[in-house]
Amino acid sequence: MRLSHLHIPRPIPYTYSLKLQEALLEKHFAYKTALRSHQHDDTPLTTPPPPPTLLTFQTHPTYTVGRRHLNNNPLSQAQISFLTGASPPPSLPHDTTAKEEGNSHELATFYPSPRGGLLTYHAPGQLTAYLIIDLRRHNLTPRCYIRMLENSVMRTCARHGVPNTLTTDDPGVWIGEPETESESESLLSASLAAREKSREAKETDEVCNLGGEAAAGMKGTKSLLRATDRKICAIGVHVSRGITSHGVGLNVFDAPIDILAPPSLRQLYTLPGNNKYLPATASVSGALESANEDAKLRDSVVPAQGYLSWGFSRIVACGLEGKSVTWLSREQGGEEREDGLTLEAVAGSLAKEVASSLGIKGEDAVVRVGEEVVLD
């Protein structure tokens, strides 16, 4: 068995990712149905099962909302219009063309999703990864599967210069900071062990028996990290007939708005002047000391720098007030994004870590496939 990895290099509409995912799911469902009817009439099934498949991509800016949110707290049309940009955005003071052209530009799309979790955002600069596997074939329960995904993401972050991540009861993968000054032999194993362990998390650890570094880190290592309020990866999974879909959104860098938007559209991506995603500058930090200045900033409007900072700053991501969202390039610590930090490289790392977590060993544990293989 090998892990098939389909990576799409160009940003795609979200609906295309759903189409690819559906095609993969259909193959799995068809196999299950065929298997069952062969079991009933006791004939052997000759076709092989579909391989576990990781689909990685970037989308055009998209907000998605899980079913729990839709049912408990449906978004109003006004809220959806705000998210997509259908309602007039606050325009930059010197710009008159936006007002003249009207407000029919779509800045982001919005889709309901059958996955778990609440409201989140996908865009260029985020590695969105959907993993489609048959849980039974890999002997995983849904809760162990989630843990496996989280561990794979944490190990991927460590490969790219960010070993200090952890999970908590809140969904997703978070940046951790050391609790004490003491040295640890491996910050990564500390982080894998250092989840703020609720009863549920402890139960999952006992029950899941995951192999490799995760297990080694868990037993007996003193907790050395505590969670900051910065989330680097969102998680939301759907399980149907034992087949998984959807997955994670791992933020890699804040892709500049220019890469997709023409100049006329680019100026519509704005943020309030006091939003926390602005890079810290002397004038901003100085100004915040004065309440008057703060009010002025809040009422002012600045152009957004990148897709992630723009999109996430406009929502309470995943329903978690007071938290913020971050990305690998920001957490790496340097001024410039490291050369190796491309979506392609991070996707490759994630594929290796997922294959390893699924117990698939060897040099060729991961096999790259093209879109045509999935869509045939």
Partner 1 sequence: MVKKYTEEHEWIEMDADNKIGTIGITEYASKALGDVVYVELPEVGLETAKGETIGAVESVKSASDIMSPVTGKVTDVNEVLSEKPGTINKAPEGDGWFAKIEVTDAAELEGLMDKEAYDAFEK
Q: At which residue do the structure tokens 């490291």 appear?
A: 338
Whole-angstrom CA distances from 316 to 15, 120, 231 are: 23, 8, 12
How is 247-296 classified by DSSP, letter by letter? EEEEE----BGGGTS-HHHHTT-EEETT-TTSPP-HHHHHHTTSHHHHHH
231 lines the binding site for partner 1 (CB under 8 A): no
Q: 287-293: long-range contacts at Cβ-Cβ below 8 A with a sequence spacing of 24 or more?
A: none
Residue 298 interacts with partner 1 (CB under 8 A): yes or no: no
Q: Are the C-beta atoms of residues 171 and 198 closer than 8 Å to each other?
A: no
Find the shortest distance in angstroms from Cβ 137 to partner 1. Answer: 11
Nearer to partner 1, 250 or 261 (CB): 250
Residue 35 backbone zone (phi > 0: left; psi -120 to 50: alpha; other: beta): alpha
Strand partners, 178: 225
Touching partner 1, residues 147-186 (CB under 8 A): 169-171
Cβ closer to partner 1: 36 or 368?
A: 36
Task: Output 60 or 147, the one with its CB closest to partner 1.
Answer: 147
Q: Considering only residues 2, 19, 38, 68, which one is a binding residue for partner 1 as defined by CB under 8 A?
A: 68
CB-wise, 148 or 257, nearer to partner 1?
A: 148
- The answer to whether residue 235 forms part of the interface with partner 1 (CB under 8 A) is yes
CB of 254 to partner 1, least distance (A): 25
- Contact call for residue 49 and partner 1 (CB under 8 A): no
Q: Does 141 bind partner 1 (CB under 8 A)?
A: yes
Q: Which residue is associated with the tokens 């865009």?
A: 123
User: Residue 107 in 3-state DSSP?
Assistant: coil
| Cα–Cα dist 113/245, whole Å | 11
| Least distance CB 243 / partner 1 (angstroms) | 10
Residue list 72-111, contact with partner 1 (CB under 8 A): 72
Q: Which residue number, 52 or 124, has a Cβ lying nearer to partner 1?
A: 52
Is residue 249 involved in binding partner 1 (CB under 8 A)?
A: no
The number of residues making up the chain comes to 376
- The residues binding partner 1 (CB under 8 A) are 36, 66-68, 71-72, 114-117, 136, 141-143, 145-146, 169-171, 200, 203-204, 207, 235-242
